[in-house]
Amino acid sequence: MNLQIRAKDLKLSDMTKAHIEHAVEEFKKYSLDITSIRCNLVAQKKGVLVEFEIHVAHTEPIVISQEDDVLDAAIDLAIDRAEKALRRLHDKVTDHQAVPLKELEPADA
């Protein structure tokens, strides 16, 4: 998995970079084939824009944009939204491969 962190008009501390890298490592628990992740942090007139672009093999990229007044809050909200999107994709993939209801045998009670 390739991670790119890009900050425009912002100075990122090592602690902020480590926080993003740790959160991205947590994305591995969904067992998806994540090929690359781009994290763009952009300073705006009123706050900060955080954008995650997550490329998963055999699907469309997942793009998460979050805007907030505080950098850390925007990062945390974007990470939460990305985890939710990855969890939903994981559930979609695993449910698709499940045994259909027609093939299940009825249980004798």
Look up the CATH number of the domain holding residue 40: 3.30.160.100
Are the C-beta atoms of residues 71 and 48 closer than 8 Å to each other?
Answer: yes
Q: How many domains does the chain have?
A: 1
Is there a domain that residue 30 lies in? yes
pTM of the entire predicted model: 0.82
Residue 85 domain boundaries: 2-95
CA 24 to chain centre: 7
The pLDDT assigned to 109 comes to 56
Is there a domain that residue 102 lies in? no
Rounded Cα gap, residues 9 and 43, in angstroms: 6
Is there a domain that residue 27 lies in? yes
Nearest-CA neighbor of 40 among 80, 81, 12?
12
The pLDDT assigned to 98 comes to 65
Residues 18-46 have pLDDT tens digits of 999 999 999 999 888 899 999 999 999 99
Is there a domain that residue 104 lies in? no
Percent of the chain at pLDDT exceeding 90: 72
Residue 86 has pLDDT above 60, yes or no: yes
